[in-house]
Amino acid sequence: MTNNNTNSNATNNGINRRQFLQSSLTMATVTGLGMSACTTTAFNRPLKNAQNTASNMNADKVKDNAHYPVIIIGTGYGSAVTALRLAEAGIPCLMLEMGLDWQLAKQQTGLKFSSMAWAEKQSTWLRTTTIAPFANYRKFKKFTGALDRIDFQHINVYAGRGVGGGSLVNGGMSVTPRKDYFAEIFPTLDTDLFYAKYFPLANAQLGVHSIPDDFYQSSKYYQFSRIGESEGVKAGYIPVKVPNVYDYDYMQAEQAGTVPKSALKDEVIYGNNYGKKDLTKTYLKQALATGKVTIVSLYKVEQLIENNGNIGNEEENYTDDTLYSLKVKQINTQGETIAIKTLHTDKLFLGAGSLGTTELLLKSHAKGTLTRLDSQVGKHWGNNGNVMATRSGIKSSLGRKQSSIPAVGLSKWTDDKQAIFVEVAPFPIGIDLRMALYLAINRVEKTGTIGYDTKDDKLTLDWDDRHNQQMVKNTERFLDEMNNANGGHDGSIFSHIDAQGKKHQGVNPKICYHPLGGCVLGKATDKFGRLNNYQGIYITDGSLIPASIGVNPYVTITALAEYCVENVLAEDFVG
């Protein structure tokens, strides 16, 4: 039977299914130490050569037309959980990540994450300026940097790129949702079981802990938080300490000047060089230590193909019942294509994030290679009610020096009509502008729908001011209450003009840090994340959550992935 998915011959360029199965254990053991542990002559090579070293190493690892028993797309929260739990069960996995392996790049070339104030090319995914929510004045050459933004007409969605996904760029805020809200969002799940088992497991695995009170109360780096907290109390909000995965012992050493600074030197949205326990220090580290997991970076999955049993190799006279093939693009650090490869698998775990996973499915459907896709895919998308907000003219000094890791939130979530949870965010620019920054999290009253435009070959998102309306209103009420109780006024760095042309000073609903939904648990999938109509395709990431979870989402994503993978392992990997 002719292989209709690739023009490469397996025997020339790679290994076929049988060879793979024979050698998978050995290969996984050899490569399982991960990219970061490979010895390389490129060690300490100057940064300008980084693109060649990283991609050349990958080129030898993944062979065109090779078969892998399990492929995991992405290396964020959903994928990291999947890799660890499968590997612990003895199952070798290949993880494909479109971004850089930052640990490897650091070893090879000395490449470090960029600070916020002096952003360099490694800050940003394949653009020539930064794309932060404000102050984008730095210019540089295109590079596969850590922070990406996917722009739609009415909303800009941020995402982390690289081995570790969003954990590289996020603020480490690790919040377990309110039990009543979790039950409302997931009415069919066993809430008690989640709060007894999966949330504690996720928190323990991620290394979540609270800021020591004496440090919080005394550090000049948290003055902005303490002021925010007391202003919030005056305005009738309940202050909530927000747990984190940042190592507070390390942060205290930063303050004492005994270690290199990270959180106390404005590092966060472009990555932290020290202190933060991102996924490469927790789940992924453990997964690699099993020797069963291979991570390859700078590999972008472009398309998924259902095979209906017609894969094979005529010359070797065998037919292969491989369920799925993946068209994969290997890139260099300027985003240029180095190679297009086709890989085959029977078990495919999608953890490319809410937009990434949904795009892959919808695009493949639009191109006719996933014909049975359920119409639920793309639905129930939301921004977790994200609205950024700012106040100026704060009466008390917020401090010249501010930690980049937030520590406190202000809650009125039990307000039936205008539920809101607001994080007191830092503005760590080294001068005290008496300006407060907030990230509000609201309910999502009207969800959006992701689609795929075949003509322009791009993702579409049905999301506009009708979706934002209530969350903008809630956030404006928050600003009014804070200003009325404490003085100050709506800040000037954010403003929003609505569909009626009305200006809303101090708020910006276009900035989305928490994309959720598109492939919702129990709607586009069964109760364990198996994609409807497709045996062997599993969803593990933020796309499982319908639009909103009421707090920062990654603890929930991790807990859901633990739950799904545990059950899928028990039922689909028997023997």
Q: What is the DSSP letter of 43?
A: T
Crossing angle of the two packed helices 223-234 and 465-486, in degrees rounded to 10: 90
The residues, ordered by sequence, that sit 6+ positions from 232 with a Cβ below 8 Å of its Cβ are: 239, 410, 422, 424, 482
Active-site residue, 496 included: no
Query: Cα–Cα distance between 396 and 438 in angstroms, integer?
Result: 17
Cα-to-chain-centroid distance, residue 427: 22
Residue of 32, 99, 382, 426 that binds ligand FAE (CB under 6 A): 99
Q: What is the DSSP letter of 454?
A: T
Does position 541 bind ligand FAE by CB under 6 A? yes
Site for ligand FAE in 383-402 (CB under 6 A): none
Least CB distance from residue 94 to ligand FAE, whole Å?
12
Least CB distance from residue 554 to ligand FAE, whole Å?
4
- 93, two tokens: 């996995």
Residue of 159, 263, 343, 444 that binds ligand FAE (CB under 6 A): 159
Query: Cα–Cα distance between 457 and 311 in angstroms, integer?
Result: 27
Residue of 42, 71, 98, 227 that binds ligand FAE (CB under 6 A): 98
* Closer CB to ligand FAE, 353 or 399, in the complex: 353
* Site size toward ligand FAE, by CB under 6 A: 38
Query: Cα–Cα distance between 147 and 387 in angstroms, integer?
Result: 19
From the number of C-beta atoms within 10 Å of its C-beta (0-12, 13-18, 19+), residue 366 rates as middle
Strand ranges inside 187-298, DSSP E: 238-241, 293-297
Does position 160 bind ligand FAE by CB under 6 A? yes
Listed ranges 32-40, 186-194, 346-354, 466-474: which one lies at the site for ligand FAE (CB under 6 A): 346-354
b or e along 469-486 (b: 16 or more beta carbons within 10 Å of the residue's beta carbon)?
ebbbbbbbebbebbbeeb
Does position 370 bind ligand FAE by CB under 6 A? no
Which of the following is catalytic: 423, 476, 481, 562?
423
Among candidate residues 449, 466, 467, the one with its CA nearest the CA of residue 518: 449
Binding flags for ligand FAE, 208-247, as an x/- string (CB under 6 A): ----------------------------------------
Q: What is the CA radius of gyration of the chain?
A: 23
* Closer CB to ligand FAE, 76 or 529, in the complex: 76
Least CB distance from residue 316 to ligand FAE, whole Å?
29
Site for ligand FAE in 502-521 (CB under 6 A): 513-514
Listed ranges 22-30, 178-186, 353-361, 465-473: which one lies at the site for ligand FAE (CB under 6 A): 353-361
Query: Cα–Cα distance between 323 and 307 in angstroms, integer?
Result: 5
Does position 353 bind ligand FAE by CB under 6 A? yes
Listed ranges 290-298, 337-345, 354-362, 493-501: which one lies at the site for ligand FAE (CB under 6 A): 354-362
Active-site residue, 380 included: no
Query: Site residues (CB under 6 A) for ligand FAE?
Result: 73-78, 96-99, 158-161, 165-166, 169-173, 269, 300-301, 351-354, 356, 360, 513-514, 541-542, 552-554, 557
Active site amino acids: 423, 514
